Chains A and B, each alone.
Chain A
Amino acid sequence: MTLLPFLLALRVAEGDGDLVLRLQRRDPQALADLYDHYGRLVFSLILRVVRDAGIAEDLVQETFLRVWNRVQGFEAGKGSIGPWLLAVARNRAIDYLRSAGGRERNAMDLEETTHPALTSDMEQDLLNSDRIRRVKAAMDKLSPNQRQAIELAYFEGLSQSEMAERMGQPLGTVKTWVRTALRSLREDLGTAVPA
């Protein structure tokens, strides 16, 4: 049960290039395949953000429609569609969270990080179960404050100032936690920012 979404994501990654081509040809079965492979992963992410299953389902629907309508901008054969799908899902969920909470849109417009070109050239099997296990283990190794800062940023879309307010800590301290956490995650995952 626990690993099912990840195993499904692994399975689709093998054929993501074909899937993108079929989506671009408006093959209705391709959308069904995309949902079958990534639907649970997208739902899990959105539910973690909005914490309401009904709202999460509405946002999952919006996510898949957005990808369906914008897939022409994705370069088939140049990477997995999963990371883009998750970026769109996160964007939709945080947008909802902000509008529902009366918060202003993020100072950083998340829209610009969901451009399909930014997820091209990624590994076809980026979202494989082994990588996800490793990132979970890496998250578990962070200090509670570092982990909370990363989760507030990723799952709630808080800026560093908003995090400082929420956590009752000085802004400089929160910035240090975020940077240290990101560095630690990269070290544990064995990935460095390209020079």
Chain B
Amino acid sequence: MNCTELRDHYDLYALGLAEEPERSEIREHLNRGCDVCAAGVRNSVELAALLGATAPPAAPSPRLRRRILASTGYEQRHFGWLVLAAAATILAGFAAVYFSGRENQYAQEAAALREQLRRQTIDLTRLNEAFAILSGPETTVTTFGAGPAPPKGKVFVSARQGVLLIASNLPPAPAGKLYEMWVIPKKGSPAPAGLFQSQADGTAMHIQPGAVDVAETGAVAVTLENEAGAPQPTSTPLIVAPLAR
């Protein structure tokens, strides 16, 4: 079908009401970058957005804002830092006046709590990034390590969000060494995709955020490198995961 024939169906498409074959035809036009249909559907999405804004006004509870920000890890850090900083200041003041000699202890405790919060924030951010890759509709999944001994796991590749590697049976890299992930194009040299260390139990999760040209990527690999990292692999890969198609 041509764009003129599809024109009357853009609004239905934006509302989720388009029927076959028009729905598939519009999707196909959009997928192949048809400017006419893209402009038409955008116009219809505008109309749909305006319909959404006609809902009767209502107010969420004040807690929702904090919940949302905390779920990204940032509000927790922001709020926690403020509270901890205030608590640390008050405690230090009391300690200075009433418990001279204890201020160091309080300061250390406050510092330890801040460090704990910092780590939790990093973990939450990583989990958010991992979730974004895992939940991507276009994410490809590749399993590696079929035998009993070698590292086993999965590689998830999202064209928009990046690469997520989850492995087991990967002993911690020795002192002075780290694992380095590589995104290997079908043609050309492997691109470094970050250094990581595995846990004492042999598990590892490594994320390389950012766009990936999935069509041009042949495999994801992991090598053992010096802790400064290497611009190109210098050892035999411990993991090679050819991308699933």
Does A associate with B in a complex?
yes
Q: Which residue of B lies closest to A134 (CB)?
A: B50
A83–B46 CA distance with the chains assembled, in angstroms: 7
The stretch from B57-65, B178-186, B193-201 touching chain A is: B57-65
B161 to chain A, nearest CB (A): 7
B contact residues around A60 at 8 Å (CB)? 60, 64, 68
Q: Which residue of B lies closest to A49 (CB)?
A: B55
Size class of the contact patch on chain B: 35 or more
A40–B53 CA distance with the chains assembled, in angstroms: 10
Contact B53 A132 (CB under 8 A): yes
A contact residues around B36 at 8 Å (CB)? 194
Contact of B45 among A45, A89, A119, A185 (CB under 8 A): A119
B contact residues around A131 at 8 Å (CB)? 50
Query: Is B102 among interface residues, defined by CB-CB distance under 8 A?
Result: no
A31–B132 CA distance with the chains assembled, in angstroms: 16
The interface bits of chain B over 171-192 (1 if a CB of A lies within 8 angstroms of the residue's CB, else 0) are: 0000000000000000000000
The SS class assigned to the B binding surface is: helix
A112 to chain B, nearest CB (A): 6
Known: A108-B16, A154-B48, A178-B12. A61 touches B64 (CB 8 A): yes
18 A-B residue pairs with Cβ-Cβ distance under 8 Å, sorted by A, are A28-B69, A43-B64, A44-B55, A53-B58, A64-B68, A65-B72, A69-B161, A86-B49, A87-B48, A108-B23, A118-B30, A119-B45, A122-B45, A127-B50, A132-B50, A159-B17, A179-B8, A189-B47
Smallest CB-CB A-B distances: 9 pairs:
A28-B74, A83-B49, A48-B55, A69-B132, A86-B52, A108-B16, A43-B60, A135-B50, A44-B55
By a beta-carbon cutoff of 8 Å, the part of chain A in contact with chain B is 1-6, 9, 28, 31-32, 35-36, 39-41, 43-45, 47-48, 53, 56-57, 60-61, 64-65, 68-70, 72-73, 82-83, 86-87, 89-90, 94, 106-108, 110-113, 117-123, 126-127, 131-132, 135-136, 139, 150, 153-155, 157, 159-160, 178-179, 182, 185-186, 189, 191, 193-195
